[in-house]
């Protein structure tokens, strides 16, 4: 399958044997729809803690993402004692490296038996947001898509059918 079910994500995020640092990377990519590059380049100054948002910029596109409450708490703890110019997730020589994250995903995959990729995490978020009732425009903004049709294309390519319940169906007894 090209995306995770809610049950698989619950298992992944609650697995005790996963390094806590790796778990927050996974949660950040899934919850915020980040690419690895966006996560690597996120700095402490990009957060607006009073409004619980993260400003992400990748090349020419920039977007502001609302932080889920549980993740906001974890990220806030992660930034404690850091300077505004510090990277959110730092490596040995400052910035975290892409290969480090990919290796972490491989080791988590071996522990859990799940194939973990950034693409799969992001596609899971997209599908789950649709299932929660988010519209195309809202999802496109949140995920950083330039084209409002992109989310719908991913839904179609996944083979997922969305069964929207009509309000009248709720009224009829």
Instruction: Return the sign of the alpha-carbon dihedral for residues 41, 42, 44, 46.
Output: positive
List beta partners, residue 95.
90
DSSP string, 126-171: HHHHHHTT--HHHHHHHHT-SSTTHHHHHHHHHT----PPPHHHHH
Q: Quick one: pLDDT at residue 83? A: 93
Q: Is the pLDDT of residue 102 over 60?
A: yes
116, pLDDT greater than 60: yes
1-38 pLDDT tens trace: 688 988 898 898 888 888 989 999 999 999 888 889 99
Read off the pLDDT of residues 49-80 as tens digits, 9 standing for 90 and up.
999 999 988 655 788 888 888 888 889 998 98
What percentage of the chain exceeds 70 in pLDDT? 82
CATH number of 6-158: 1.10.443.10
């Amino acid at each position: 399958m090209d995306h995770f079910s809610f049950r698989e994500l619950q298992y992944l995020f609650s697995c005790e044997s996963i390094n806590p640092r790796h778990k927050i990377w996974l949660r950040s990519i899934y919850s915020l729809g980040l690419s690895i590059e966006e996560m690597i380049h996120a700095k402490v100054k990009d957060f607006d803690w009073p409004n619980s948002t993260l400003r992400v910029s990748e090349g020419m596109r920039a977007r502001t993402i609302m932080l889920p409450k549980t993740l906001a708490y974890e990220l806030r703890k992660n930034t404690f004692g850091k300077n505004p110019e510090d990277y959110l997730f730092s490596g040995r020589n400052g910035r975290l490296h892409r290969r480090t994250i990919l290796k972490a995903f491989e080791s988590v995959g071996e522990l859990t038996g799940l194939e973990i990729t950034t693409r799969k995490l992001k596609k899971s978020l997209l599908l789950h947001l649709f299932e929660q009732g988010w519209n195309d425009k809202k999802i496109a903004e949140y995920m950083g898509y330039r084209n409002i049709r992109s989310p719908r294309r991913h839904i179609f390519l996944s083979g997922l059918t969305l069964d929207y319940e009509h309000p009248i169906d709720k009224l009829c007894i």
